[in-house]
Structure 1
């Protein structure tokens, strides 16, 4: 359910055992964060962020926390996917300990998906678990990664292979922070917005086709899109918190996308996460059409919409290339959904009709990728 107030929207995540939390969505929430965070009951709230976000919002957030009587501090890391590493994770943990974060205190993750995953994993393991708050500052983080409690870092073997489920106690999605995003980062986040329509809500995908410009421009459409995505994800998380079943649908496009990120060495100059997801969404629908699961016109509609927004939809669009079909298949073999050595994909019978497809034949995937690499 989405609750409305004069200043923000609220999506409730009704987890059990006292772990329920709210997602607040609206403009100006950073400046009002102090009272909301202090209400969780802590003496200190230390911010983990990246150097870019620290320069934009670090002082404002810290001032808001300290005005509410919380001792605060900042631990800043380099921006980019490369910070989701063992070394940076260790540095963040040591930084939090240097700020004397105790079991009853709070870690405040302020930034995009990289910071949220990294800070959340540090919180999950520091002193065997401290509470944390998400303050997502990118579209991708606001609609997806800040909600649901997935935290972690990358390994040379693949993305997000080291981590923990650790739910936040509060999410503050200040949509005014999206005003400072580059067009590229907004487009990348939009891939995750469109994903929710493609999974199981064809009506929402229709709405995206009609309203995507409003999401980029700001205003009511932006807040409505963030709230709709958070409500959809919250519903899935409550039903399947630890990805034993339905939650895997949220990985639509990600098996392909994560493989592309690994093969580009998580180099954001070449490919950011949302761009990998966009290519992955287009590939998932084209692969579904190839298997006779969905109509080719649905696959074309998905690719056309993503391309209209300015997102890549083909393997050829990866700067510097993405390797061979065999290399892509090998990268996919480390996907978290692999079971008993067999590939699991999220495929579709149509727009809004995705499903979990276990045991996909690797030879079939290889042949599809070879054709995709030759196309265009």
Structure 2
């Protein structure tokens, strides 16, 4: 509900151990409850590997939904990249056993989430080059803004600057900026911190949102098929994503990429810098075979956690039940079988993802959160 989402966002904002926003992604259910990947603490990046039909795309959809539920849209931006042109693992690879009603849509199914600022399909060279340039420019902007500081360190300084009171004797304390206050402290002046709710204070500026780039079929970008419309521009997108893998930890930009096999990206920046890895089991048709979305999370400390991925695009059935009826029975029809009323189909219900997106949209309006600008 919007109320529960706002309560979760408020708790995340008050968490002193997650300055800059939490980056928790619930992957699914394990033996001891939900299995969570913390991109900020254990990442900074997540690599998902699994063959066709293993549930890669549906897992990425669940990750995007979980990331959106964990933070406000002005503290968390999500960028979606479909590396495969036809979204070939969108339905058959869903965690629901290959019956995803949004089959073939790839990550486009998540575009209703208010946190999603950009969706790129690798079939338009012009948009692909524009995306690569915009993502590179965003990394440079963050680097200039943060300077030599890291993402969490910058937010720590911003939180302190927002609570500063000018030294005694200084004129117009409300106009003193964070940098000016630091120079006063260096000069030996007295620095006092006011409580967070006390009076007016200098505005340290808008917070810098964490950005999560979710890429499906990353290996299709590394080696595009002959004749693929996005083949000429794939290299520029790969270079921009490698820059995210290399510099994203300090800049507050995380990468979640899905590939068919880890070996395909082992020697790339993404393969080397992914602190979190998920390996999904190949699907099978037997009773004893694992269901789609079954896999293991490998942490940076070597810990292995088995889990079943969540499914967010399965539809809630809405079928009317057959109600009992009383009808007059004529003598000459006594031997005929009873007439059955046809079951009236009311149509498929909404997906969990659609219900979450609606609640997120209402919660976003309630808190008046500004969304992260698009890269396209």
Q: Which one has the largest radius of gyration?
A: 2
More helix by share: 1
TM range (shorter): under 0.3
Higher relative contact order (CA 8 A, sep 6+): 2
**TM-score between both structures, scaled by the size of structure 1:** 0.23
**TM-score between both structures, scaled by the size of structure 2:** 0.23
